[in-house]
Chain A
Amino acid sequence: MLEIRNLHAAIGGKEILKGIDLTVPSGQVHAIMGPNGSGKSTLSYVLSGREGYEVTQGTVTLNGQDLLALNTEQRAAAGVFLAMQYPVEIPGVTNMNFLKTALNAVRKSRGQSELDAMQMLKLLRGKASAIGLSDDMLKRAVNVGFSGGEKKRNEILQMAVLEPALCLLDETDSGLDIDALKIVSDGVNALRAPDRSMVVITHYQRLLDYIKPDAVHVLAFGKIRKSGGPELAHELEARGYADFAGEAA
Chain B
Amino acid sequence: MTLAAAIERSKRNREDWKYTDLPALLARRAQNAPMPITALPATANDDARLVFVNGIFHPAQSRFGSIPSCILMGDERSGYKLTLGEHTCLVAQPVELVFTTDESATDEIDINLSIDIGANGRLTLLERHLPSRAFSTIDINVTLHESAKFVHGKMTSGGAHIARTNVNVARGGYYSHFGLTRGGLPMRHDIDVHLMDEQAQAALHGVMLLRGGDHADITTRIAHNAPHGVSRQMFKTVLGDKSRGVFQGKIYVAPHAQKTDGHQISRALLLSDSAEMDAKPELEIYADDVKCSHGSTIGDLDADALFYLRARGLSETQARALLIDAFTGEVIDDIPVPAWRDLFRADMEGWQS
* B273 lies within 8 A of chain A by Cβ: no
* A73 lies within 8 A of chain B by Cβ: yes
Task: For A48, list chain B residues within 8 Å (CB).
Answer: 311
| Contact assessment for B312 and A162 in the assembled complex, using a CB-CB cutoff below 8 Å | yes
Interface-lining segment among A7-15, A89-97, A111-119: A89-97
Interface-lining segment among B130-138, B145-153, B283-291, B317-325: B317-325
| Contact assessment for B323 and A101 in the assembled complex, using a CB-CB cutoff below 8 Å | no
Task: For A50, list chain B residues within 8 Å (CB).
Answer: 307, 311
Task: For B304, list chain A residues within 8 Å (CB).
Answer: 88
Known: A73-B315, A102-B314, A105-B314. A90 touches B307 (CB 8 A): no
Task: For B319, list chain A residues within 8 Å (CB).
Answer: 73
> Shortest Cβ distance from A128 into chain B, in angstroms?
16
> Shortest Cβ distance from A186 into chain B, in angstroms?
22
A161-204 interface code vs B (CB 8 A; 1 in, 0 out): 01000000000000000000000000000000000000000000
Q: Identify which of B309, B310, B313 contacts A90 (C-beta below 8 A).
A: B309
Bound complex: CA of A141 vs CA of B308, how far in Å?
Answer: 14
Bound complex: CA of A50 vs CA of B309, how far in Å?
Answer: 11
**Closest A residue to B321 using CB positions:** A101
> Shortest Cβ distance from A62 into chain B, in angstroms?
15
* B316 lies within 8 A of chain A by Cβ: yes
| Contact assessment for B311 and A92 in the assembled complex, using a CB-CB cutoff below 8 Å | no
Known: A88-B304, A92-B329. A73 touches B313 (CB 8 A): yes
Task: For B323, list chain A residues within 8 Å (CB).
Answer: 90, 92-93
* B327 lies within 8 A of chain A by Cβ: yes
Bound complex: CA of A51 vs CA of B308, how far in Å?
Answer: 11
| Contact assessment for B313 and A109 in the assembled complex, using a CB-CB cutoff below 8 Å | yes
| Contact assessment for A77 and B327 in the assembled complex, using a CB-CB cutoff below 8 Å | no
Q: Which residue, B312, B313, B319, has most C-beta atoms of chain A within 10 A?
A: B313
* A84 lies within 8 A of chain B by Cβ: yes
| Contact assessment for B326 and A105 in the assembled complex, using a CB-CB cutoff below 8 Å | no
Interface size for B (C-beta < 8 A) is 23
> Shortest Cβ distance from B120 into chain A, in angstroms?
36
Q: Identify which of A51, A82, A92, A162 contacts B325 (C-beta below 8 A).
A: A92
* A106 lies within 8 A of chain B by Cβ: yes
Known: A90-B305, A90-B308. A106 touches B326 (CB 8 A): no
Task: For A58, list chain B residues within 8 Å (CB).
Answer: none
> Shortest Cβ distance from A129 into chain B, in angstroms?
21
Task: For A84, list chain B residues within 8 Å (CB).
Answer: 308, 311
Q: Identify which of A87, A97, A106 contacts B313 (C-beta below 8 A).
A: A106
Q: Identify which of A82, A103, A105, A158 contacts B318 (C-beta below 8 A).
A: A105
B29-70 interface code vs A (CB 8 A; 1 in, 0 out): 000000000000000000000000000000000000000000
Known: A73-B315, A92-B326. A87 touches B308 (CB 8 A): yes
> Shortest Cβ distance from B84 into chain A, in angstroms?
36
Task: For A102, list chain B residues within 8 Å (CB).
Answer: 309, 312-314
> Shortest Cβ distance from A151 into chain B, in angstroms?
12
Bound complex: CA of A71 vs CA of B326, how far in Å?
Answer: 24
Bound complex: CA of A158 vs CA of B311, how far in Å?
Answer: 11
Bound complex: CA of A50 vs CA of B308, how far in Å?
Answer: 9
* A76 lies within 8 A of chain B by Cβ: yes
Task: For A88, list chain B residues within 8 Å (CB).
Answer: 302, 304-305, 307-308
* B330 lies within 8 A of chain A by Cβ: yes
25 contacts between A and B (CB under 8 A): A50-B311, A51-B307, A73-B311, A73-B315, A73-B319, A75-B311, A84-B311, A88-B305, A89-B305, A90-B305, A90-B308, A92-B325, A93-B323, A93-B326, A97-B322, A98-B309, A101-B318, A102-B309, A102-B313, A105-B312, A105-B313, A106-B312, A109-B313, A141-B326, A162-B313
Chain B residues at the A interface, C-beta cutoff of 8 Å: 302-305, 307-316, 318-319, 322-323, 325-327, 329-330
Given contacts A84-B308, A87-B308, A102-B312, 13 further A-B contacts (CB under 8 A): A72-B311, A73-B310, A73-B311, A73-B314, A73-B319, A88-B305, A90-B323, A92-B326, A98-B309, A98-B312, A101-B314, A109-B313, A162-B313
